[in-house]
């Protein structure tokens, strides 16, 4: 029988920012919504995620961000907004091709997303949760097992939320 972990801690934000800036395991996530549709996106990173634009054709995602500094073969974590009810699949991807202002990824799913749709990327994507209009309740997700390992820290990108908390240790 596994023993209970007693040193779990909590961190809370009222807007986007770092929850912790060190290696840890995320054990649970709590979010309080608002009257508007919202989202929380967690990234494992030492810097704030970068906002960019993207399009998807079949399973090729093209991300546009002037002077991004990324290279083919590099792995990034990325999350995507929807356009017309369709979005690319959030996750951790190896960059297939890169030039000064664009890079491409191969989505595990296929579809079409219009150009100039918003996305954000950082070192590593952890999870994205989206909420419907009027979800003003506190939502909680317990992460099974030992939790999700964040090697660098945990940054939360919050949209239309009152608060986000993680439980870690």
Q: Summarize pLDDT for 93-140 with one digit per residue, the tens.
A: 999 999 999 999 999 999 999 999 999 999 999 999 998 888 888 889
pLDDT at residue 135, as a whole number: 87
163 in the same domain as 131: yes
* pLDDT score of 164: 96
Query: Which backbone phi and psi does 106 adopt, to 5 degrees?
Result: -105, 110
Q: Does residue 112 form part of some domain?
A: yes
Looking at per-residue confidence, does 137 or 10 come out higher? 10
Summary mean pLDDT of the chain: 94
Task: Determine the structural domain holding residue 100 and report its residue range.
Answer: 50-122
Please say if the pLDDT value at position 78 is more than 80: yes
Residues 112 and 133 in one domain: no
Residues 60 and 74 in one domain: yes
Residue 107: the pLDDT is 98
Q: Model-level pTM? A: 0.92
Confidence of residue 5 (pLDDT cuts 50, 70, 90): low
pLDDT for position 1: 57
CB 126 within 8 A of CB 25: no
Determine the distance from the C-alpha atom of residue 8 to the mean position of all C-alpha atoms in its chain, rounded to a whole number: 22
CATH number for position 75: 2.40.30.20
Sequence-distant (≥ 6) Cβ neighbours of residue 12 within 8 angstroms: 19, 163, 164, 165
> Residue range 35-56: average pLDDT?
96
The verdict on 38 and 97 lying in the same domain is no
Q: Is residue 3 part of a domain?
A: no
pLDDT at residue number 138 = 87
d(CA 167, CA 17) in angstroms, rounded, equals 16
Q: In this structure, are 66 and 106 located in the same domain? A: yes
């Amino acid at each position: 029988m596994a023993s209970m972990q007693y040193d779990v801690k909590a961190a809370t934000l009222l807007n986007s920012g770092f929850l912790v800036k060190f290696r840890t395991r995320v054990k649970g996530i709590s979010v309080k919504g608002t009257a508007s549709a919202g989202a929380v996106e967690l990234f494992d990173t030492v810097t704030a995620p970068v906002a960019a634009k993207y399009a998807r054709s079949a399973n090729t995602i093209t991300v546009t961000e002037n002077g991004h500094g990324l290279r083919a073969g590099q792995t990034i974590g990325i999350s995507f907004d929807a356009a017309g009810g369709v979005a690319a699949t959030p996750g951790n991807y190896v960059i297939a091709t890169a030039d000064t202002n664009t890079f491409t990824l191969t989505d595990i799913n296929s579809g079409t997303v219009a150009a100039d749709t918003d996305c954000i990327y950082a070192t590593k994507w952890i999870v994205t949760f989206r909420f419907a209009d009027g979800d003003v309740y506190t939502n909680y997700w317990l992460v099974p097992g030992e939790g999700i390992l964040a090697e660098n820290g945990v940054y939360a990108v919050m949209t239309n939320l009152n608060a986000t908390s993680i439980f870690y240790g």
